Amino acid sequence: MEATMTAIELTGTVNERRQLKLDELLPIFGPKRVRVIVLYSPTDEWEETEWLAAAAHNPAFAFLKDAEEDIYSLSDGKPFRDEA
């Protein structure tokens, strides 16, 4: 009979020496043998500021600068107040 395996998800960084450095401690105590599956993007992922800069300078969104697209004002709508 095969042993049941438990999976956890953590993030980390692979350094220049190809060693994995986790962002936080593992929630298990050792010594204990584990199996590791590493998922990574073949290209570097963008930070949120890079996405925003790319969108701000993308010519596909240039039409948003036209005066006809500016259809709302500060007096439109009502403020939302979260009571929770």
| pLDDT given for residue 29 in this prediction | 93
**What pLDDT does 20 receive?**
93
Alpha carbon distance 56, 69 (integer Å): 16
Residue 55's alpha-carbon distances to 43, 45, 65, 71, in angstroms, are: 19, 15, 13, 21
Q: With beta carbons less than 8 A apart as the criterion, state whether 14 and 20 touch.
A: yes
Segment 10-35, tens digit of pLDDT? 888 889 999 999 999 999 999 999 99
Cβ distance 13 to 21 under 8 Å? yes
